[in-house]
A and B are shown apart, each in its own frame.
Chain A
């Protein structure tokens, strides 16, 4: 382990649980505790608890926070009501994607912007720069805020039974809503948000109290099938749910319209960073993001070529043998002529052409299963 890796406030707990670790954006985070597949299935059928303390928490506060965030990000966030969350994008001047984020309205004059760990400094610097001239203070709380996610069909039942968690209205809390609560006297923010495709919650808590919350949650989860889950299963869960991962499906060369993210951009806004680039659109042959499904067990992986009649027409951005569905799934960026649903292409799996069909996203939906 390199000394420069950052440790989560829950690090000692992970080590006691025997987790395997990986360097994730400079953080030494659990990749799995025992089995990726067992952890994946636990989230689909019962519940999983994740340490996401590497995520970046950036607050925008002040009378001009609404105007500042509307200028800084792709969506209109100033008009979302208190207690709502919204997915948004941080664009560069060219209208390409610097990061994808979840924004929570936490006060009349306060927003919490949650950025990817790998983009923390890019996001903080960009938002600071863009908030200049507005009555808005930008505060990077990433080092002092921990994030614990509990995801899966039993997650409400588990939160309802965490000893010391005082919260009103949790049962009524809708998807992409958030509310303030306390855990043993400490203020926490609970979002009904996640990155797994299941019902679930994300709890933002001061780093100093995170270990106590984790223990209380695992106590409540003991009889409710709660499994400690690492980043490996988080990746297969989000892939099945059709959710993009920055650095794979999203990057600084792609515009939102190429990656099914146009809905996160409000083109009616007068002015925001990236507006001109978005309005300029994309060239005729620009790649678009599609979902691919194959038979058998051999999955395409990131950077594998997508071909048609032996000609390369795209690239896989993420892929795996879907643990829930039992067949290989992948995201790929392909030439627009091959993006139509039902189109059949090949994935070059280390020299073998594996046929794959363009399918609609998400690959997995809990609603469709019910």
Chain B
């Protein structure tokens, strides 16, 4: 199970890559595997203000629906059109081309380290 050490995580199985005041967000491989093949992704619109912890979108697989939570507060800078067009990217490359959206961060939410996330999913 891949959990890149350089990323930060949430208990909702999302990852966040912080670069200055920009955060790139996706779901973890663990979450993607648990959902199964993702067939539909609904992402927040560019410019929308989001609040850490609130529901901002959905990822649907053949079997189930997963809500996407805002891991940080701020404004949506970009939504990844590639995963809207090809949702399977979330399964095949969750930390790379399968990223979901980016945020201009005003404040961080409750983020945890890779080690803490690994411990969380091992429970």
Contact = CB atoms under 8 A, between A and B. Distances in A.
**Dominant secondary structure of chain A at its interface with chain B:** mixed
Given A321-B40, A321-B62, A323-B62, 8 more contacts: A20-B33, A31-B63, A232-B36, A232-B62, A236-B62, A320-B63, A350-B58, A350-B65
Interface residues of B, number: 15
B75 interface: no
Contacts of B64: 301
Contacts of B37: 35-38
B60 A299 contact: yes
Interface in A191-243: 232-233, 235-236
Contacts of B34: 20
Nearest to A239: B62
A297 interface: yes
Contacts of A323: 62
Nearest to A40: B62
B80 interface: no
B39 A297 contact: yes
Contacts of B113: none
A14 interface: no
Q: Top 3 closest A-B pairs, CB basis? A: A37-B37, A297-B40, A36-B36
Interface string B21-58: 00000000000011011011000000000000000001
A298 B60 contact: yes
Contacts of A20: 33-34
A321 B37 CA distance: 11
Contacts of B58: 350
B61 to A, nearest CB: 7
A32 interface: yes
Contacts of B65: 301, 350
Nearest to B35: A36
B102 interface: no
A299 B37 CA distance: 14
Contacts of A36: 36-37, 61-63
Interface residues of A, number: 20
Contacts of A321: 39-40, 60, 62
B91 interface: yes
Nearest to A230: B36
A320 B61 CA distance: 9
A282 to B, nearest CB: 32
Contacts of A350: 58, 65
A232 B63 contact: yes
B81 to A, nearest CB: 15
B37 to A, nearest CB: 4
B73 to A, nearest CB: 23
Contacts of A298: 40, 60
B95 to A, nearest CB: 18
Nearest to B33: A20
A108 B72 CA distance: 70
A37 B91 CA distance: 12
B63 A235 contact: yes
A235 B88 CA distance: 20
Interface in B73-91: 88, 91
Contacts of A232: 36, 62-63
Given A37-B62, A350-B65, A32 B40 contact: no
12 contacts: A36-B37, A36-B63, A37-B37, A37-B39, A37-B62, A40-B62, A232-B63, A297-B39, A299-B60, A301-B64, A320-B62, A323-B62
Interface string A302-346: 000000000000000000110100000000000000000000000
A297 B58 CA distance: 12
Contacts of B62: 36-37, 40, 232-233, 236, 320-321, 323
A235 to B, nearest CB: 7
A321 B39 CA distance: 8
Nearest to A235: B63
Interface in A264-320: 297-299, 301, 320
A297 B36 CA distance: 16
Nearest to A20: B33
